[in-house]
Amino acid sequence: MSDVYAQPTAAAQPASTDDLAQYTTLCLGGPAGRVVTAINADEIVSRVREAGSEILLVAGGSNVVIGDGGFPGTVVLVRSRGLRVLTEDEQTVTVRVEAGEPWDDLVAATVRNGWSGLECLSGIPGSTGATPIQNVGAYGQEVAETITAVQVYDRTAGTVGQVDAADCGFAYRSSIFKYNERWVVLSVDFRLARSPLSGAVRYAELARALGVEVGDRVPLAQARATVLGLRAGKGMVLDADDPDTRSVGSFFTNPVLDAGAYEQLRQRAAGLGEPPAWPGAGDLVKVSAAWLIDKAGFGKGYPGPEGTAISSKHTLALTNPTGTASTQALLTLAREIRDGVQTRFGVTLHPEPVLINCTL
């Protein structure tokens, strides 16, 4: 096994106990009872064991909405770093990545090394350990396609072990780890192709931006640069100078409807054009939440209380552009959108981020 880059070895130090807003991309969240830092897998396990039942793990903070009351227990900041090669041959390489490794740093490293499989997931904020929890996906790729195993601490058994990909229960933006406090992700194994070219381009918007046909392959660096450009144009790449990026990215998941429900949606949408949709398993259809939100009257820049707003670039992102709003204000805007879509189209939107000590 070889190291691509090393993880830090300095002793962990307690972090400040200021409001949790400083640890989230939304810049929202009240105080924690206690905040500690863990810089490797062993420290993550020990911090979790010490904390007992009231514990919240935060890494990139890009997919979490924390209530104004904060979190009364222990918050563990996951800051483990590192990537190493486990196995390799002429066609593939399997790498193990620590949970706290920033996701886009990993994607950039795979592109530099000529490893194909993650390039269309460029620019997604957050940590590597969060990707199997959410089964992160974008532009036609999902991490479920390349993950082979997840190393975990099992809080029920009190042991460290491994969950193979087949047992992770991967589904659209979901897995057995989501909304389940039993497992703490320590590291993730990915099997990637040794290739200078991307996987087959599956997403029509990306194909158009690349100037190729769906199914074509392009150089890895070109795929990454184009995805980063598309995401930046939607305010979906973190940028301190862009207030639209003070968000959790997509706030709502795309609804998955059966054939009957989709036909009812089409009838209610008469005169607005065909609702964008993608076929799923069986008679299921995934519908564009962004289209539903826009056609229900909530366009880009739609204002909410306390300065919250829908992003000026993308209707799926709810933002805290001034950094001074409350979580309650953001959720008030989210409820207005959810209820408006339900009234107009009969479709219920569900939040994509994890809500901590708050409800929608």
Tens of pLDDT, residues 103-139: 999 999 999 999 999 999 999 999 999 999 999 999 9
Task: Give the whole-angstrom CA distance, residue 350 versus residue 62.
Answer: 17
Residues 6 or more apart from 89 whose CB is under 8 A from it? none
Question: pTM of the predicted model, to two decimals?
Answer: 0.89
Give the list of residues 6+ apart from residue 187 with CB closer than 8 angstroms, or none: 41, 80, 96, 97, 98, 99, 128, 129, 150, 151
Give the contacts of 263 (CB within 8 A, at least 6 positions apart): none
Q: Say which of 43, 98, 142, 352 is annotated catalytic.
A: 352
What pLDDT digit, counting tens, does each position of 335-358 carry? Answer: 999 999 999 999 999 999 999 999
Q: Are 252 and 352 in contact (CB under 8 A)?
A: yes
Q: Which residues contact 314 (CB under 8 A, 6 or more apart)?
A: 234, 235, 236, 244, 290, 300
pLDDT surpasses 80 at 5: no
Q: Which residues on adjacent β-strands are paired with residue 138?
A: 141
Q: How confident is the model at residue 10 (pLDDT cuts 50, 70, 90)?
A: very low
Look at residue 203 in the predicted model and tell me its pLDDT: 92
Instruction: Check residue 128 and give its pLDDT.
Output: 97
Active site residue 352: yes
Percent of the chain with pLDDT over 70: 95
pLDDT at 3 over 80: no
Per-residue pLDDT at 231: 93
- From the list 188, 177, 178, the residue with the least C-alpha distance to 354 is 178
- Average pLDDT of the residues in 173-199: 95
The residue from 62, 122, 127, 250 that is catalytic is: 250
Q: Tokens 């009364």: give the residue.
A: 72
Q: Is 198 a catalytic residue?
A: no
* Segment (H or E) for 72: strand 71-78
Q: Is residue 268 among the annotated active site residues? A: no
Residues 289-305 pLDDT 10s? 999 999 999 999 999 99
**pLDDT at position 18 over 80:** no
- pLDDT bracket for residue 46 (50, 70, 90): very high
User: Catalytic residue among 79, 81, 173, 224, which?
Assistant: 173
